[in-house]
Structure 1
Amino acid sequence: MLRLLSIALAAGTAILSTAASSLAADMAAPVETTYQAPNWTGFYVGVHGGMASGSLGYVLPSFPTDLDYSFSDEDAVYGIHGGFDYQFSSRWVAGLELDYTKMSLPFSPFNGGLNNPIAKVKSSYSITGRVGYLVTPETLFYGRLGYASISMEAEEGFTGTASGSVGATKAGIGAETFLFDNVTARIEANYVDASKAFVTADSQAFDPKYLVVNAGLSYRFGAKGGSAHAAEPAPAMQFSGFYAGGFGAFSFAQSTLEVIDNPVATTGPFASDALGFGGFVGYDFLINDMFVVGAEAEAAYVNAKFEDPSMNSFATGATTLFGTLKATYAVSARVGVVATPSTLVYAKGGFAGMVMDANEDFFALENGGTKTLSAYQVGAGIESALSEKLTLRIEGVYTKATDEMILGNSQTEQVSIKPSLLTGRIGLAYRF
């Protein structure tokens, strides 16, 4: 998992290090006497990397009724993108973007006895329109919507496989800011949902959807030629002192339901997606008007529900809900670079807790209850000034339990539950 997190955050680390060195070099440059806003109209190309958390709807033909699972997997992703934007006022930008993203999401929900993996999501390409608002002349917050194609491979029969692709809808939000010259940095959270299932010759159905959180760098041709729309420079934001705020979130969660020492059990991980919200408080130190270090505490409502249709119960109408990830909290360190006088690009990481509830109605002998599991949290984001006191932020965050919940079922200490969570967030902060 450490390898996975290192790859997933590589793009964010590259942004911070590149921006720091370039901004340091710019300190010796002559100060411009007139302000010229960058030009957002034109072509651009770039690279991106991050993390995907995927859900695979899996319908297994069975008697007397088919079993409908929702399995999960997560992995690092990387890719390229390019497009064209048109700035049609001092505040609004619209454009079209193409991208290709490579990933490896092998869904392997069984300990043994059946094919593993049952399916793989290998890559995707997309064409999306995006519309954005310039919070400052150098920083764009945007939404996107369009078409995607998901390339996948699935088991077919006892030993064969079938390959193909399925169409999907792609929607997301992001923030992009100039670092220096023609180079911009971005943070995005994108949701991709297949419009129909991938069905094999033996009537197995595979329905993928996933959340991708990534960071990227783009080169914008002609950006320093100056905008055709007059704009005033944004006031410098004092990224120092106390702040507090709130956020809305969309998350993809996964949880194991591992039956210990059972070689043919369905272990998952099982998937759940959920809307949530939360709040945070923190304190930042501004160093040399360029670097920011600080600490932040947060709490978030998640309510991600996990189901196993195989149940572990022979009772008619028995519940399939085995657990709910109710909430998370975290205390993190933040480090960042002031990319423009009003925009901060940052990374964060620290200790977390995940509040997990095991459903007593699912497990035998009334085993269950709620436990807060030890975890860690890492993430990256872009924060920009809306006013002298108010900032807007978009960030991606990954939270994973380092502890597990051990439960009895038909035997004591028989089942292990261990969750993780990938989240895209948009939030507001007030700086005192």
Structure 2
Amino acid sequence: MGKKLVLTAALLSLATPAFAADIIQPAPVKAPMPPAPIFTWTGFYIGAHGGGAWSKWTGIDPTDPTSTWSSVSASGGVVGGQIGGNYQISNFVVGLEGTGAWSSVTLNAGGPFGGGAGFNLTLKNDYVATVAGRLGVVFDRVLLYAKGGAAFTRDRYSANNGLAGALAGSAAGAFNRTGWVAGGGVEWMFMPNWSVRVEYNYLGFGAITEQPVTSGNLVATPANVKLNIQTGTIGVNYHF
């Protein structure tokens, strides 16, 4: 009997440390949370925009070379799209962007640019397009930027002398222009991959020689006409 007690005590003494080791286990260590991704404006984007535009033609009417130097203004809307890319360096962003927009800027009138009283005149910008560099400063998800580069448009000239029969005459022409653009805006990344922006641009086009094609009882002579356009737009971009 004594030997059994001694053997039992020995077995218990050997099992106790292992049993205690099974009970006292260190709590598992949780893996640290991954750091939140750092926001950046770097990347490509595509979007759409729309707003208003204001044009001003200055020169002499091709159908009335005796008229004095004068100017006329027109307004309308623009709707189009843009594509570009940004690269962020610290708190600054550099980028390149191309835009293209259909334009409804149209003037329907008579007078100085219509050969004088009795003439009917239409001046119109078909489209407005730009290729420009952008430079901006960021405040987290807000980007303030300026832009500058090349601008393109086409203006259409159409006139008639308001007469009928053998005395009727008309003139028409389409003239492509290349100039420059300067502007700026503010853009806000309101949710992942999506931003909204407000932008103003001034487009300057130097004087070019315009000579419409005439028919009937109307003569047109070459005339220098210059043009400037201002646009104010709201746009949205999707960032890849």
The answer to whether TM tops 0.5 is: yes
Q: Is the 8 A contact 1:156 1:200 kept in 2?
A: no
Matches within 5 A, 1:292-371: none
Shift of 1:70: 1.6
Q: Does 1:109 find its partner at 2:109? A: yes
1:123 maps to which residue?
127
1:424 maps to which residue?
none
Superposition RMSD in Å: 2.2
Q: Does 1:218 find its partner at 2:237? A: yes
Which runs of no fewer than 5 residues in structure 1 stay unpaired?
1-31, 222-432
1:88 maps to which residue?
89
Q: TM-score, normalised by structure 1?
A: 0.40
Amino acid corresponding to residue 96 of structure 2 in structure 1: L
Work out the CA distance in 2 between the residues paired with 1:208 and 1:34: 54
The structure with higher relative contact order (CA 8 Å, sep 6+) is 2
Aligned length: 185
Shift of 1:178: 0.4
The 3-state SS of whatever aligns with 1:195 is strand
Tell me the alpha carbon deviations over residues 114-157 of structure 1, each in whole angstroms, 9 at most, x when there is no partner. 1321x2111021100010011x1111000000001111211378
Matches within 5 A, 1:68-217: 68-89=69-90, 91-110=91-110, 113-117=118-122, 119-134=123-138, 136-155=139-158, 158-200=169-211, 202-217=221-236
Work out the CA distance in 2 between the residues paired with 1:40 and 1:142: 12
Tell me the alpha carbon deviations over residues 78-105 of structure 1, each in whole angstroms, 9 at most, x when there is no partner. 110000111122x100010001011122
Q: Is the 8 A contact 2:49 2:233 kept in 1?
A: yes
Tell me the alpha carbon deviations over residues 48-88 of structure 1, each in whole angstroms, 9 at most, x when there is no partner. 0111111111313544xx41112111112111000011112
Amino acid corresponding to residue 229 of structure 2 in structure 1: Y
Work out the CA distance in 2 between the residues paired with 1:120 and 1:198: 17
Amino acid corresponding to residue 83 of structure 1 in structure 2: G
Shift of 1:198: 4.7
Q: Is the 8 A contact 2:49 2:81 kept in 1?
A: yes
The 3-state SS of whatever aligns with 1:38 is coil
Shift of 1:34: 5.9
Work out the CA distance in 1 between the residues paired with 2:159 and 2:201: 30
Shift of 1:208: 1.8
Taking structure 1 as reference, are residues 77 and 45 closer, same or farther at Cα in structure 2, changes over 3 Å only?
Answer: same
Name the larger-Rg structure.
Answer: 2
Work out the CA distance in 2 between the residues paired with 1:197 and 1:84: 33
Shift of 1:196: 2.9
Work out the CA distance in 1 between the residues paired with 2:107 and 2:159: 14
Work out the CA distance in 1 between the residues paired with 2:34 and 2:230: 44
Percentage of identical aligned residues: 24
Work out the CA distance in 1 between the residues paired with 2:38 and 2:70: 52
- Mean CA deviation greater in 94-103 or 68-77: 68-77
The 3-state SS of whatever aligns with 2:233 is strand
2:21 maps to which residue?
none
Which runs of no fewer than 5 residues in structure 2 stay unpaired?
1-32, 112-116, 161-168, 213-220
Amino acid corresponding to residue 199 of structure 2 in structure 1: E
Shift of 1:179: 1.0
Shift of 1:41: 1.1
Work out the CA distance in 2 between the residues paired with 1:198 and 1:121: 16
Q: Is the 8 A contact 2:121 2:159 kept in 1?
A: no
Amino acid corresponding to residue 138 of structure 1 in structure 2: R
Tell me the alpha carbon deviations over residues 3-54 of structure 1, each in whole angstroms, 9 at most, x when there is no partner. xxxxxxxxxxxxxxxxxxxxxxxxxxxxx99654422111100000111111
Shift of 1:189: 0.4
Amino acid corresponding to residue 141 of structure 1 in structure 2: L
The 3-state SS of whatever aligns with 1:49 is strand
Tell me the alpha carbon deviations over residues 242-298 of structure 1, each in whole angstroms, 9 at most, x when there is no partner. xxxxxxxxxxxxxxxxxxxxxxxxxxxxxxxxxxxxxxxxxxxxxxxxxxxxxxxxx
